[in-house]
Amino acid sequence: MVDFSRSRSSTRTAPRLCIDRLIIVIALPLQRNILRLEIGMIRRLSMIRHAMRMLAIMYCVCSQPAYSNHETQAVAPPLSFSQFCIQYPEDCQRHDDRRIRDFRSSIQRWRELAQINSTVNFGIAPKNPPASRNDAEWQIFPYEGNCGDYAVTKRHLLLRSGWPSSSVLLAEVIIRATGEHHLVLLVREGRAVLVLDNLSPVVTPLVDALDRYIIVRAESGTDPQRWTRDVAAF
């Protein structure tokens, strides 16, 4: 006698296995497609994020405020100037114009500049500082000194005479002939800018002195403790 129950169970199981296998075969390509789709979406999202970052950077750069020429040309003052301001704080403060103005004032100011330039040039011995004194130290009316001593002494006398601090500016220059760094005093008188230099017995217009000098930096006319490299500001 044949056992039909066993045959029925076997015939019922076989289709299940086939169906399971069929499901697996069909599902695998679907999972691959889903995986490819997910990878593609990730790449697109990454590209979108990168593009957004670039746009943000461009926006930040383009939206920066434009700086004036005075701000971009600002530089640190010489170390000797900072030390000078500690020793002579009054000379590093802002001074208003206290000069007497009349029809003779312009001629008198020119004479005053020439007199102070000559007095200081002959009043300080043009020698190197002694070994006991720091070469970078600027002093007012020392017995002997360097170019810095001449310049700050002339400026000090002009401030005491009523000249405003915005008109008497220390300036570091390079002598074209030697390449040596040098300190002079720039003086604004009307529309002219004049140079008081211990190497010259006469007061020289800046336009003529630029043949001998290269201006490195100078005091700002707006703040005596700030320096600038902007020649047009003088």
* Digit-coded pLDDT (tens) for 139-177: 999 999 999 999 999 999 999 999 999 999 999 999 999
pLDDT, greater one: 189 or 68:
189
Which pLDDT score, from 0 to 100, does residue 106 have? Answer: 79
Mean confidence (pLDDT) of the chain: 77
Evaluate if residue 62 carries a pLDDT over 60.
no
AA letter at 103: F
pLDDT by residue (tens digit) across 183-229?
999 999 888 999 999 999 999 999 999 999 999 999 998 999 999 99
Residue located via tokens 């020289």:
204
Average pLDDT over every residue of 109-119: 95
pTM: 0.67
Evaluate if residue 91 carries a pLDDT over 60.
yes
Contact between residue 90 and residue 158 where contact means Cβ atoms under 8 Å apart = no
Evaluate if residue 126 carries a pLDDT over 60.
yes
AA letter at 135: D
Q: How far apart are CA 234 and CA 231, in angstroms?
A: 6
In degrees, rounded to 5, the angle at the alpha carbon of residue 181 between the alpha carbons of residues 180 and 183 is 130
* Adjacency order of strands within the sheet including 181-189: 74-75, 227-228, 213-219, 168-175, 181-189, 192-196, 204-205
Quick one: tokens of 74? 């600002």
